[in-house]
Amino acid sequence: MSNELQPHFLIASGFSKEHERALTLYLQDDRKLSTEQWRLLYEGINYLDQSEVEITGERFAFRQLYNRHIDQAFADEYLEQLIGLIEPDAHGTTLTAQYARKIAPTLEQQQLLLRNNPQSYLLFAYCVYWWQSFARGYAFEVEIKRDLEASKIIFAMHDVRSRAERYSQADLIVLDLLGDIKTSPYFLQESSNSPLANDFYITRLYEKGYTRTLVVFQKPSAWQKIGGRATVAGKLENVLALLPQPVKLEQAENVLIVVEYVTWKSLVQRVQHKRGGPNA
Amino acid sequence: MPEKLLTEMNYDEMSSLIDNFIDRSAQQSGEMPANSFFALLFANLAQRIKQTFEVEGRVVNGQLVLVQPSGLPADFYVQNNQIVIGEQRIVVKLRA
């Protein structure tokens, strides 16, 4: 292949060595990342979003290449298989990895991952990052959907098999409240680009000394609507330790109420029961 | 701290790093520590939102009627199904 046909990688100028260090550490072991390194990771990924590859005079953003060669190639098939799994959250990770292993050969075939071009490694890492975020996020969402159904909670939810519905603002509606279900890294990456638009969010977190915990964090208006009452004031460092008490987190004028997922479900069930829902 | 950055690795080192990441993540669900999560979430909120107003609404005879909240700045107002912010107008339409 002659040099003029080699893709030319144009990494956004804001992407620094510190961003690359956070990305490398994330790939080595994400549990070693400090809060500042998580911030650098998200910022770095946003810079890679803006990065481009010039191929025979035409420029393509990393995001376009991901959409064309990874998302459009694998997402629908993955989601169909995921929905067919008995335990999507438990076995979805294996399925996610199966597809992630297809990324390198796909990029190599497109001349977008090249042994002699280390900048192409950044596109590969970017694609793996987004694939893992996407795939884990939907495995989590499908698991929550099944649990809500089993708990006889009335809700409306977008169809993850529909590409158009996947881009809807909210993943689900419960008691007229708009909600989102996302793994914590995926959620935070998304929230770095758009404000907190929905009423409540279901995610999963961990804290040293505690196993991972399913939580719902919500705006005070959503907390009131599900009949939530007294809260305890929490700090960023002790949120999970204070659960199962409802925890109020407040910074500047932003207030969020954090509860365990099971607490949130029981409050929703109680309101729906009063309204004559299926739990009545 | 990583000894080498991604682009300082040779192809086999980089490939091995990402393969191991994929293998490892097949055993994990990929959560974040709570303190980092909320610290960054509030930082994002502080950057983007200077002030929040909640607008409540009701459906009256099939039409959305939004209620003007108190404390809105002078160039914001809410009327029926419309929210006007300066020179911008948001029209909220209900779908069956």
Q: What is the ipTM of this complex?
A: 0.85
Beta-carbon contacts of residue A182 (< 8 Å; ≥ 6 apart): A137, A140, A141, A171, A190, A201, A202, A203
| Domain shared by B62 and B33, yes or no | no
Distance from CA of A152 to the nearest CA of B (A): 24
The minimum CA-CA distance between A9 and chain B, rounded to whole Å, is 12
* Same domain flag for B43 and B60: no
Nearest partner of B19 among A39, A118, A105, A114, judged by Cα: A105
Q: Is the model more confident about A38 or about A189?
A: A38
CB spacing of A192 vs B28 below 8 angstroms: no
Q: Is residue B24 part of a domain?
A: yes
Residue at B14 is within a domain: yes
Beta bridge partners of A8: A54
**Residues B71 and B41 grouped into a single domain:** no
Residue B49: partners with Cβ closer than 8 Å, 6 or more residues away: A195, A196, A254
Burial B59-94 (b: 16+ CB within 10 A, else e): eeeeeeebeeeeebeeebebeebebeeeeeeeeeee
Q: CB burial class (10 A; 0-12, 13-18, 19+) of residue A78? A: buried
B44 plus B74 within the same structural domain: no
Q: What is the mean pLDDT of chain A?
A: 87
Cα–Cα distance, A245 to A231 (Å, whole number): 7
User: Within a domain: residue B35?
Assistant: yes
Residue A209 pLDDT: 57
CB B41 within 8 A of CB A63: no
User: Rounded to two decimals, what is the model's pTM?
Assistant: 0.81
Side-chain half-sphere of A181: how many Cα atoms within 13 Å? 26
HSE value, Cβ hemisphere, 13 Å, CA-based, for A45: 28
On whether both B13 and B43 belong to a single domain, the answer is yes
- CB contact under 8 Å between A118 and B52, yes or no, is no
Q: Which residues contact A15 (CB under 8 A, 6 or more apart)?
A: A44, A47, A48, A51, A122
Contacts of B2 in chain A (CB under 8 A): 21, 24-25, 28
**Residue A249: pLDDT band with limits 50, 70, 90:** very high
Domain encompassing residue B15? 9-48
Residue B40 lies in a domain: yes
Residue A76 has pLDDT above 60, yes or no: yes
Nearest residue of A to residue B36, measured between CA atoms: A35
Residues B21 and B44 in one domain: yes
The answer to the question of residue B3 being in a domain is no
B96 located within any domain: no
Per-residue pLDDT, A4: 61
Of B5, B38, B54, the CB nearest to A221: B54
Q: Express each pLDDT in A15-61 by its tens digit.
A: 999 999 999 999 998 888 899 999 999 999 999 998 999 988 889 99
Q: Containing H/E element for A46?
A: helix A35-50
Query: Structural domain tally of chain B?
Result: 2
Handedness of CA A261, A263, A269, A272 (dihedral sign): negative
Does residue A226 contact residue A170 with C-beta atoms inside 8 Å? no
Chain A CA closest to residue B44: A192
* Residues of chain B below pLDDT 70: 1-2, 28-30, 48-52, 96
The arithmetic mean of pLDDT across residues A176-202, rounded, is 81
Whether residue B42 sits in one domain with residue B62: no
B69 is a domain residue: yes
Q: What is the token pair recorded at B76?
A: 């914001």
Residues of chain B neighbouring A34 (CB-CB closer than 8 A)? 36
pLDDT of residue A2 exceeding 70, the answer is: no
Distance separating alpha carbons of residues A152 and A143, to the nearest angstrom:
14
Residues of chain B with Cβ-Cβ distance to A24 below 8 Å are 2, 4-6, 17
Q: In Å, how far is A236's CA from the nearest CA of chain B? A: 5
Domain for residue B42, yes or no? yes
User: Mind listing the pLDDT tens digit for each residue in A105-152?
Assistant: 999 999 999 999 999 999 999 999 999 988 888 888 888 999 999 999
Residue in A with minimal Cα distance to B51: A253
Quick one: average pLDDT of A181-210?
78
B contact test, residue of A35, A103, A212 with most B CBs within 10 A: A35
Dig out the tokens for B84 from the structure.
């006007």
Q: A40 near A19, Cβ under 8 Å?
A: yes
